[in-house]
């Protein structure tokens, strides 16, 4: 065992390993104790570090909500913090203008499938090479716990005080149906597969999507007797069913379960590639308006 | 992303020195291409779809990109994202789409993102008369988005001017690091006239000023330099109130005051420089017609007729609607007896004029999708002289 | 070796609950922000799986595998 002095040196050397990806001046994070956002940030920093992606080659785009704080301001990369629900179209513009950068969207369920739902399915349809990590805490957390398109039926929330009358989206399935080429669902309990999935998403070309179930003890967990983030994560551990196993189960057996794993991993032509190919073709073939024919004089 | 190896000038110069018969919408598109626009994201809407159609056809030739987004909110979002990626970006829409874009216009203002938004105004409110022109978005262009802000809005009245203002809008956007609105009306957008396209190097195209070294991009001077992704600066751009570094600070009162005041000052301090107008027979005018866009054409016809009869009438045609030429108007209000304002709305600019002049302001509104005729404006004028 | 930054910790107890070898317990020591950080009471049984390091929402735990 190293003595005290050596220990300090070792720790100093190791402390920087992940801090190089964080804006240290704004730490500690503003997240509540037990919030899953910090876990997602942690997994993401680990994933980027293991892949040795240069932060200069990344752009993080985010919306409005607690999980939007994961990149903004905590990640030390070029960061674009946009209007509520719109990180995906902003990211589309960023990616088209900077096709060589890894463009990542990290935001919440209210932002990406609520107000921003339309953009999510269109980007999946387009198969544009952006990586979207949707942090799903089943509630509008930042504004105090109003019912969300992801809140399970019957749950009392700030705006469904008598119980939620609606049904939630199955987001991973929806995005898969929209045409995404890589879709997984994990939880903040499943940190190792989550991190690996992030690595796959970061390196695969095409619209890559991860739905990450994440605890919100303050605005959601409290309402369902899961006062600590840890309690919600225990539920993740106990209620998760791998997709391979879920395929053999009935819908009754799957009631209340979280299906985790890989939904889609396929290849399709990518949007910005197609744009570039079009430009080359058009310029090589010189199709276009002929001023001779078109002009008056 | 910017195309720096002159493919665009090679392609565009093929059009130079010749005349064409085209719509105002098309002319705006070509003007934008000449200004170096290499990104257009939009959504179809009458009467602006032609702008998107020309951009879709022509952008590949200049190695630019056209994306048809799923709605107007996404359109301006993508433009802003691309601009921070280094592009010169624009979008085009009409009233209903312009309403949808207001939040992101506020975002562009707050983050000082240079971009161009064309609003080819049609008869509203709501779906209104989709295929008929109007000038009903004048106040919306000024105040459509929430919070304190200033805006630049241009109003062309001819197809040639559409081309020129297409370029001017991009130049103003870069100079003042702000979104610029081209507030056309459907009349000018869809009418066809002869235009000439010049050689690219006869034009003054303003390039983006990028920050060097440690220069701040959200403060430090009245109009800070910009930055782009991928420079290793790890920039932080947010629509929240932010410090000069770009990092959010919503707690301190001074931060917000300093930021928002500077954003407004950028335009207000330069309003005389930005403001453009055309004066016709103003030297001895006792009564003045103030008009803009499509209305200025019959208005000119009306004042020429009145002049022929010896009436001392002049016309001030606004090319920039916002910032409003406050000083010019204050001066004018002391010099003339009456100001007549024909508009294709129920009197939006006339209200603004009233704020600055002591003389009588007579609004001559016309709504319903048909422009004023020379006779109508002439009758309105002749009563007052 | 397990290094815990007690000042960053927010006492969420995730490391205590999920360490497969029950290395951690909540300490009785309150930090300057009012939270009770964990303490490793069973460091000898730690195999360096790094689950706690990856799961900690505050980057408070560093595992050094020598």
Taking only the tens place, the pLDDT of each residue in B64-116 is: 999 999 999 999 999 999 999 999 999 999 999 999 999 999 999 999 999 99
The pLDDT of A157-165, averaged and rounded, is 96
Query: Contacts of residue A62 in chain B, CB cutoff 8 Å?
Result: none
| 60-89 in chain A: CB under 8 A from chain B | 61, 72-73, 76-83, 85-86, 88-89
Instruction: Tell which of B148, B177, B202 closes a domain.
Output: B202
> Which tokens is B92 given?
């085009």
Residue B245 lies in a domain: no
Indicate whether B25 and B139 sit together in one domain: yes
Q: Tell me: domain A14-269, CATH 3.10.450.50, correct?
A: no
C and B touch with 3+ CB pairs <8 Å, answer: no
> Which tokens is B152 given?
């630049």
Query: Contacts of residue C18 in chain A, CB cutoff 8 Å?
Result: 189, 230, 233
ipTM of the complex: 0.95
Helix or strand or coil: residue A138? coil
Instruction: Tell which of B151, B168, B202 closes a domain.
Output: B202
Residue B249 lies in a domain: no
First to last CA, chain A: 89
Residue B65 lies in a domain: yes
Length of chain B: 385
Residues B8-20 pLDDT 10s: 678 888 898 899 9
Q: Is the pLDDT of residue A93 over 80?
A: yes
For residue B106, the domain's CATH number is 3.40.50.970
Q: Which residues, at least 6 apart from B187, have a Cβ–Cβ distance to it below 8 Å? A: B133, B293, B294, B344, B371
The answer to whether A149 and A169 are in contact (CB under 8 A) is yes
* Helix or strand run (H / E) with residue C26: strand C24-26
The domain total for chain B is: 2
Domain boundaries, chain C: 2-63
Q: A97 and B1 in contact by Cβ < 8 A?
A: yes
Residues B18-27 pLDDT 10s: 999 999 999 9
Interface test with B, best of A90, A118, A142, A277 (most B CBs within 10 A): A90
Which residues form the domain of B74? 7-202
Nearest Cα to Cα of residue A39 among C59, B135, B380, B372: C59
pLDDT of residue B150: 98
pLDDT confidence tier of residue B3, bands split at 50, 70 and 90: very low
Instruction: Tell which of B156, B173, B202 closes a domain.
Output: B202
Residues B227-265 pLDDT 10s: 999 999 999 999 999 999 999 999 999 999 999 999 999
Residue B246 lies in a domain: no
pLDDT confidence tier of residue A9, bands split at 50, 70 and 90: low
Neighbours of chain C (3+ CB pairs under 8 A): A
Q: What is the dihedral of CA B1, B5, B7, B12, to 10 degrees?
A: 90
The answer to whether B32 and B55 are in contact (CB under 8 A) is yes
| 92-121 in chain A: CB under 8 A from chain B | 92-98, 101, 118-119
CATH code assigned to C2-63: 3.30.70.20
Q: Is the pLDDT of residue A4 over 90?
A: no
């Amino acid at each position: 065992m190293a003595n005290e002095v050596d220990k300090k040196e070792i720790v100093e050397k190791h402390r920087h390993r992940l801090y190089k990806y964080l804006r240290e001046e704004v730490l500690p994070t503003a997240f509540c104790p037990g919030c899953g956002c910090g876990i997602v940030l942690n997994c993401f920093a680990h994933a980027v570090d293991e892949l040795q992606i240069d932060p200069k080659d990344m752009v993080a785009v985010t919306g409005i909500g607690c999980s939007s704080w994961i990149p903004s301001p905590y990640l030390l990369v070029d960061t674009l913090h946009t209007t509520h629900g719109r990180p995906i179209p902003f990211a589309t513009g960023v990616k088209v203008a900077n096709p060589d950068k890894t463009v990542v969207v990290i935001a919440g369920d209210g932002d990406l499938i609520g107000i921003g739902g339309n953009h999510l399915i269109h980007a999946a349809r387009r198969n544009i090479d952006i990586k979207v990590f949707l942090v799903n805490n089943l509630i509008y957390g930042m504004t105090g716990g109003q019912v969300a398109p992801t809140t399970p039926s019957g749950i009392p929330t700030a705006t469904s005080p008598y119980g939620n009358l609606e049904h939630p989206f199955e987001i991973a399935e929806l995005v898969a149906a929209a045409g995404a080429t890589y879709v997984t669902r994990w939880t903040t309990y499943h940190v190792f597969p989550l991190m690996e999935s992030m690595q796959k998403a970061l390196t695969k070309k095409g619209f890559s999507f991860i739905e990450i179930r994440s605890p919100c003890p303050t605005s959601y967990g409290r309402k369902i007797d899961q006062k600590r983030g840890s309690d919600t994560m225990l539920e993740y551990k106990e209620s998760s069913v791998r997709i391979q196993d879920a395929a053999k189960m009935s819908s009754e057996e799957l009631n209340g379960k979280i299906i985790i794993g890989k939904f889609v991993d396929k290849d399709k032509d990518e949007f910005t590639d197609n744009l570039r190919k079009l430009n080359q073709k058009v310029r090589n073939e010189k199709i276009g308006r002929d001023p001779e024919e078109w002009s008056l004089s | 992303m910017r195309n720096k190896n002159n493919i665009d000038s090679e392609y565009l110069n093929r059009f130079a020195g010749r005349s064409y018969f085209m719509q105002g919408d098309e002319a705006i598109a070509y003007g934008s291409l000449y200004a170096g626009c290499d990104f257009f994201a939009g959504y179809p809407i009458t009467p602006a779809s032609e702008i998107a159609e020309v951009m879709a056809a022509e952008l590949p030739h200049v190695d630019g990109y056209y994306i048809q987004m799923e709605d107007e909110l996404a359109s301006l979002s993508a433009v802003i994202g691309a601009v921070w990626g280094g592009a010169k970006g624009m979008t085009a829409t009409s009233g209903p789409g312009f309403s949808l874009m207001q939040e992101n216009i506020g975002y562009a203002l707050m983050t000082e993102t240079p971009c161009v938004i064309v609003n080819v105004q049609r008869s509203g409110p709501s779906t209104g008369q989709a295929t008929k022109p109007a000038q009903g978005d004048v106040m919306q262009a000024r105040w459509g988005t929430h919070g304190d802000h200033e805006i630049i809005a241009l109003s062309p009245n001819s197809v040639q001017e559409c081309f020129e203002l297409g370029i001017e809008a991009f130049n103003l956007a870069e100079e003042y690091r702000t979104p610029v609105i081209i507030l056309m009306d459907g009349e000018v957008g869809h009418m066809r006239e002869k235009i000439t396209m010049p050689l690219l190097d006869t034009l003054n195209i303003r390039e983006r000023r990028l920050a060097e070294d440690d220069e701040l991009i959200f403060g430090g001077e009245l109009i800070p330099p910009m930055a782009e992704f991928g420079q290793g600066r790890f920039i932080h751009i947010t629509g929240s109130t932010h410090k000069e570094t770009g990092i959010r600070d919503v707690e301190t009162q001074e931060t917000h005051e300093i930021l928002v005041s500077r954003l407004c000052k950028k335009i207000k301090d330069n309003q005389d420089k930005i403001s453009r107008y055309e004066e016709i027979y103003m030297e001895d005018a006792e009564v003045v017609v103030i008009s803009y866009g499509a209305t200025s054409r019959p208005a000119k016809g009306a004042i020429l007729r009145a002049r022929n009869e010896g009436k001392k009438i002049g016309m001030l045609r606004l090319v920039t609607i916002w910032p409003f030429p406050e000083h010019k108007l204050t001066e004018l209000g002391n010099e003339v007896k009456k100001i007549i304002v024909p508009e294709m709305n129920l009197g939006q600019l006339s209200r603004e004029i009233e704020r600055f002049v002591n003389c009588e302001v007579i609004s001559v509104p016309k709504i319903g999708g048909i422009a004023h005729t020379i006779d109508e404006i002439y009758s309105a004028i002749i009563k007052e002289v | 070796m397990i290094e815990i930054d007690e000042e960053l910790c927010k006492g969420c107890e995730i490391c205590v609950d999920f360490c497969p070898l029950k290395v951690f317990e909540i300490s009785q020591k309150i930090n300057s922000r009012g939270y009770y950080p964990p303490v490793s009471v069973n460091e000898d049984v730690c195999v360096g799986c790094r689950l706690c390091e990856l799961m900690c929402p505050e980057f408070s735990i560093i595992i050094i595998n020598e």
